Every structure is written in C-alpha cells, then in structure tokens.
Amino acid sequence: MTVHYLKSATPQAPEQKIELRDQVTDILLAIEKGGEAEALRFARRFDRWEGDIVVTPKEIEAATARLSPSLREDIDFAHENIRRFADAQRATLTDMEIEMAQGFMAGQKSIPVLGAGCYAPGGRFSHVASALMTITTAKAAGVEFVAASSPPRGGFGISDEMAYAMHLAGADTILRMGGVQAIASMAFGFFGMTPVDVLAGPGNSWVAEAKRQLFGRVGIDMVAGPTDSLILADSSAHAEVVSWDMVGQMEHGADSPVWLVTDDADLASAVLEMIPGLIGSLPAANAESAAVAWANLAEIVVCDTREEMARMADTYAPEHLHVQARDLDWWLGRLKAYGSLFLGEETTVAFGDKASGPNHVLPTSGAARYTGGLSVHKFLKTVTWQKSTAEAARRVAEVTARISRMEGMEAHARTADIRLSPRG
C-alpha cells in the first residue's frame, strides 16, 4: 500500500480532561442535592439569564409570528424531510413472534421510552437543525414526553427560530437553559418535567461530559467529540467543490479535522493551493476557526488505488464520509465504517447537517467503527416475551433442569422440576 501525505495533521497535545470531569461531577452533585433551585443558580451564573426558564405557549406563538414566512417555510421543509425519514426508519422495526415448538411461543416488541431530553447547542451557532433532528426523531419513535433545551442568547432567551423549530418538532416542554444544568434538569425532572429516560443531542465538552457521567442512570445517544469529515475523490472530482466541502466542515471549529483521500495527485495539489484563499473569503469569525483547523488538523493523502482509499476511510471511520468519485455503487458496497455516507458531488455534507432527512447526530472520533448515529432506535427498547402450554413446556423444563444442575444452580433446576409435576 503506497500512501503519500501531501499535508499531515500537526500532533496535538492531549486534552486536559481531568479538571473538566471533576468540575462537571461537582456541578451534577450540587444540582442533585440542591434540586431545581441549584440548577437555576447555575443557569443564572453560566447562562447569564435572569428570566423564566420554561418557554410558554404564548411566547412560542409570539416567536412564530415574528418569523418571516420564508424562514418558517425553510424550517418546515427540513422538519418534513427529517420526519419522513424517521417515520420510514420506525416502519422497519416490526413486532414479531415465532412458535418455538407446538404450544410454546416467543416474540419481540419495540417499545418507546416514556421520556426523552433533547439538547440543541446555542452558543457560537444556534443549531436549529439539531433541535429538529433530535425532537422529531424521538416523536417518530413514539416517545410520549419530549423535553428540549437550548442556551439563551444574550438577553433575548432562545431565538425565535429555535422556539418555533422545537415546537414544530413536537417538544412538550422547552427550556431556556444550557450546559450541565440543562442536562441535569432534564435527567432529574425539574421545572415541572418528568425525569427523562434518554438524553440526546450534540453540545460542547461540558454537555458531553455531563451526558457521559449520567449514562446508566439514563440512556444517551452517544458521547460525541468534535465533528469530522473525510472526502474520497478521484480525477472526476472538481477541485473547487472538494475544497469548499472541506472548508464547510472546518467552519464547525478549530478542533474539527477534515481529510481528503484521493488517487489523483493533481487534484490533491489543486485543493492544497485553493483552500487558504477560500478560508480567507469567509467572514472573520468563521475564517478564524477554519484557518486553525486547516493548519493543525487537515490532511491531504494520495493513494495508488481506490481500494487503498477505501481502506484508509475504514481506518479513519469518519463521522461524515463523502465520495466524489466514479462508480458510486462500488463505494456504497465497499465502505464499512462511517457515521453517514454522502454519494456523489451533488450530496454535500451540509445537506445532511441541515435539511435532507437522515439524522446529523453522528459518531465522531472513530466511533463509527462500532456504532451508527441517532435514529428512532435510540428511543426504543427491543424487548422479548414468551408463553407456553404445560405440555409444550415439558421439554424446555427438562433441559433447563439438567443445565441448571450442571452449572450448580439448584434453585433454578427446581423451578423447572415443578413444571414437570402435576399441580392442584
């Protein structure tokens, strides 16, 4: 395997995570002990929000009225695509039953959790799309109660478009709250809510760590790190399109790695030359983070064959994997490790981020080797059941008794024995 790095990532110093972990632990313990009042205190401190935490129906109505018809239409379009895809996912999960022997039935049911808490980031960017992705998917799974939370922005609370999107997606309670205190409030059931069973949605390192520490008490979608993206391109790809797709993902932040893997050295060189200028054309704040990501984390790799390219993609296991190459069916059949796959030049990753339908809450940092992204499955429990007649149970009871005694579990054996004896 011949691989040439035209641009390599700069090794980064390991993150200092112990202090963050301990701080989040302290906040969670304080909130659990102090209850809603303590969560509110942290909201006043970190969110700098002095108003009410829960968004009222009247406030949602007013926010909706302030939005332009065109913006509402755009949010409606994205929501409809996300809902349709989630509904189609749900339809693939069917209850089933099988007759193991005459008179002995076993089966499977998919049961939604009772409550879900959905977090949407609202710091540097107000991620309306994340609200749609999480809340809509939970509702499509059949979750009865969905709480939603996003940090207030300045003195205005959450944005009008965020309030509208959360309500449209089906949120039963909407909180103006961010960070650890928001995650804790949904998990513990403050501000008039029932404690949720599953927490979902992206967030900063504080949010991710709070979800990680609460896992077990509640379910979570995943522990997500910085977003990442890999492009596989051959000589049929256009350098400007590839370059913009890389810059578009670097815009997420200075810690967002982006990789290009290609078998065309000319394409690789053209992209290497073009990207700095594209970054420089962005607004200053966007350009600043993208420039750091480009300098420190971006890679451009030239391989000899498409099979080598595919192996590299499987090794990186990116969150987003975009193929801009010939023979898309070959890539679809060959690639094995990714959060979401984008096939062809016309399906930019930004489509998946915002409006095309499949969920954008995806595994990062190589986790796509062993898990997929957020879906209706995360809000469902696949459970089993069985029932039997006395006659059908005899063979199972005999085998159960023998295996139990072989294992040394006498009481288990006797629960089987009693099924073999006449009972009055």
- Residues marked as catalytic: 319-320
Give dist(CA 317, CA 364) in Å, integer.
8
Give dist(CA 177, CA 31) in Å, integer.
14
What contacts 46, CB < 8 A, 6 or more positions away?
A: 178, 179, 181
Specify burial of residue 407 (Cβ count, 10 A radius: 0-12, 13-18, 19+): exposed
Give dist(CA 22, CA 7) in Å, integer.
37
**Closest C-alpha to 230, from 293, 308, 332, 322:** 322
Q: Do strands 258-262 and 3-7 pair parallel, antiparallel, or not at all (unpaired)? A: unpaired
Q: Which amino acid is at 70?
A: S
Give dist(CA 306, CA 309) in Å, integer.
5
What contacts 288, CB < 8 A, 6 or more positions away?
A: 254
Q: Which two tokens stand for residue 143?
A: 């979750």
Give dist(CA 61, CA 66) in Å, integer.
9
DSSP state at residue 47 = I
Q: Which residue has the tokens 């799309």?
A: 129
Q: Which two tokens stand for residue 111?
A: 């049961």
Q: What Cα–Cα distance (Å) separates residue 7 from each residue in 4, 271, 282, 300, 364?
A: 9, 11, 22, 5, 22
Specify burial of residue 117 (Cβ count, 10 A radius: 0-12, 13-18, 19+): buried
